Structure 1
Amino acid sequence: MAYILKGVHCEKEGNVNQLSFFIQNNKIVSIRRHFRYTNCYYVDLSQYLISPAHVVADLSFPNLNFKDFKQYMINEFLLKGCTTLLVPFRVEYEFKWKEQLQKIRKQLVGSPIDYVLSVRIPARLVTPSIIRKCKREKISSIFVEITDETDLYRIEWGWMRDAMFPYPVTLIPHVLIEDKKRKIEKIEKWTSILSQVGIPFLEKPIPSFTPISKEELIKLGIYPQKGFLQVGGEVSYNLYYLPKSEDKTSILYDSRKLCITVDKGKVIRAGEDVSYLSGAGNEIPIYVPQFFQITS
């Protein structure tokens, strides 16, 4: 079915404009200020501000029974405009890889939204062998646990670069220190070391339950599969009531102002009502990490 989202306010590079989206077969086919089609179904969204649906990380995804799992997914993700999860499974020892991977896949089998897998490991496990496992499973990122930066100096970065070709895995810092000053110091040291070794990395940690930025999604290879509200993208978006204030973009990450969430063309949240479809989510493999950077 073809239809048009008419006159919705859309933010781009700090500016807000009214645009219309032509949707067909659950894909955004065209975006214009106006469409002249008369044989299409129109949805007037002139009172709303639109944004891509959120991609959110959960660094310690719990193992719950169905009832608690459903409530957890609704409260932490669906009511907050998230339609894609980034979920790292933790591996303490390399021989546990297969067991832990199977465990997280089993936990997520009933997910109502799509998910991207990652892995969380101690710095000592950052090895070519782990990179090859990530390549095999199409996992494009690794959360590296940091307690002592001296572990980073022990890594054979040259071997790591070779192992990453042609599938660059992005490393993400995960500092296991509560003291804010020491945490900042560890992150600064991380950035200093990684910027010299020629390996893709994020300078800052990705926290749980916070929308991941477009720039980070690009580095992780998740964008433009997800978080992409452009021609060719899937129909997944959030709608906010248009605020009266001049700064209309200030509400884009405020779940309290969110009124509608659409996931792959289906409304999954309208006001406080949630449509929960167990098992509707799928694992999203990342076949080409940093695709947008490579092709742009």
Structure 2
Amino acid sequence: MSKYIIENADYASHDRIGQISLLVEDNRIAAIRERFSYYNHIRLNVSPFIMTPSHVMCDTALPVNHDFSSFKAYFLEHFIAKGCTTILTSFRIAYEFEFMEKLEARRTSLLSSPLDYTIGLISPAHLITVNVIRLCKRNKVPVIWLLLDDIKAFTSVKWGWIKGLLNDYRITFVPFFTTNLDKKEKIKHLKIWQKTMKYENIPHFSEEIQQKVPLPLEQLKKIGMYPHRGNFLSGGELSYNLYMKSDEQPSSAGNSFHYESHVLKCTMNRGKYHYLNDQGYFYPGAGKELCIQTPGFFT
């Protein structure tokens, strides 16, 4: 059994920076404290860096039919080089009967993924039916991107029926646009969305999910990916990023951390380097599906 201590870590959570130490056993976090003074394990001093949990990013347009070299290059450029180890992605249906076929096709397309993934559904509004919601619950699909191009179809959804099905599995609904609506029209649709979802008390995001950037804590919580991702948890898998400290960033200052203003030096995930000293590493098939059992538990 391999045991060591990561010490003097300036840990950047989503709203502040504080110092912690981690006791690691077999690539899992055995304990988290400010320090482990009386332990004799090997120590890894990470004081020159700022440490964060590895990122979760969303990509609803993740390639399905790319050849392996293109697939690898896409992951290295858009995710691994940015400290991402988990992806939120999607499958799309045009008819209700396609649900299982399209979901399994998306899972098959990710068999070579080096990163973990969670899969949501993109659906037109007229397919938000009792049967589709039950399929999502049965197959642990925690997110539905709802097409808002046709606002009349959206306002026709029977939300009272849908809400009754969400008590034991709180699927999160997210607005999604496929056409280039002008800014004024898009804002109008979003205001109708926000008013409706709030009135009906449906779990939702007020705005679209940004693509290929780290998801914020409140979104991870609502989807149910937190605390499994975006957090250091006793008993959880060890997955972290190390960023070089900048001259302007005081250590352990309680300030918020902005990853885009720091240089990523290392991403470690389950005992493997995914990124180290400006080089990404691709492990085909190392990723696994993160199945969300309880969406919205921490909201």
Question: What's the TM-score bracket when you normalise by the shorter of the two chains?
Answer: over 0.9
Give secondary structure in 1 for the equivalent of 2:199. Answer: coil
1:28 corresponds to: 29
User: Match of 2:275?
Assistant: 269
- The question of 1:214 aligning with 2:220 is answered no
- In the other structure, the counterpart of 2:177 is 175
Please say if 1:278 is aligned against 2:278: no
Contact 1:115 1:284 in 2 (8 A): yes
For the residue of structure 2 that corresponds to 1:254, the secondary structure is helix
Report 1:20-99 matches (<5 A).
20-62=21-63, 63-99=65-101
The match for 1:18 is: 19
Assess, with a 3 A threshold, how the Cα gap between structure 1 residues 13 and 138 changes in structure 2: closer, same or farther: closer
Report the aligned-residue RMSD: 1.8
TM-score by length of structure 2 reads 0.92
* Number of the residue aligned with 1:129: 131
Task: Show structure 1 runs of 5+ residues with no match.
Answer: none
Corresponding residue for 2:198? Answer: 195
| Percent identity (aligned) | 34
Q: What secondary structure does 1:55 align onto?
A: strand
What's the CA shift for 1:19? 1.9
- Is contact 1:211-1:253 (8 Å) kept? no
SS at match of 1:292: coil
Cα distance in 2, alignment partners of residues 175 and 232 from structure 1: 39
Return the alpha-carbon distance in structure 2 between the equivalents of residues 291 and 3 of structure 1: 32
Which residue matches 1:100? 102
Partner of 2:242: 239
Check the 8 A contact 2:268/2:274 in 1, yes or no: yes
- Equivalent-residue separation in structure 1 for 2:262 and 2:284 (angstroms): 25
Aligned to 1:223: 226
Q: For 1:186, which of 189, 206, 230 is the aligned residue?
A: 189
Q: Which aligned pairs between 1:104-119 and structure 2 lie closer than 5 A?
A: 104-119=106-121
- Match of 1:3? 4
Counterpart CA distance in 1 for 2:152 and 2:59 is 27
Structure 1 residues 33-42 or 247-256, which shifts more? 247-256
CA distance, structure 2, for counterparts of residue 160 and residue 24 of structure 1: 44
In 1: Cα distance, 2:290 partner to 2:48 partner: 33
Moved over 3 A (4+): 12-15, 246-252
Output one character per residue of 1:211-239: Cα deviation in whole Å (capped at 9) or x when no partner: 11110010001111111123333211111
CA distance in 2, matches of 1:13, 1:207: 17
Deviates more, 1:67-76 or 1:14-23: 14-23
In the alignment, what sits opposite 1:288?
294
| Cα distance in 2, alignment partners of residues 274 and 12 from structure 1 | 24
Contact 2:172–2:222 (Cα < 8 Å) also in 1: yes
User: For residues 176 and 282 of structure 1, what CA distance do their matches in structure 2 show?
Assistant: 29
Q: Distance in 1 between matches of 2:39 and 2:69?
A: 46
Give the CA deviation at 1:251: 6.0
Distance verdict in 2 for CA 1:37–1:267, change over 3 Å: farther
Give the 3-state SS of the residue equivalent to 2:7 in structure 1: strand
Q: Distance in 1 between matches of 2:261 and 2:111?
A: 26
Shift of 1:154: 0.7
Q: Distance in 1 between matches of 2:275 and 2:43?
A: 20
What is the TM-score of this pair, normalised by structure 1? 0.93
- Give CA deviations for 1:61-106 in whole Å, capped at 9, x if unaligned: 1121111111111111101111000011111111111221121111
Aligned partners of 1:76 and 1:209 also within 8 Å: yes
- Read off the aligned partner of 2:49 and give its amino acid letter: Y
Aligned with 1:238: secondary structure? strand
Residues of 1 paired with 2:262 and 2:172: CA distance?
Answer: 32
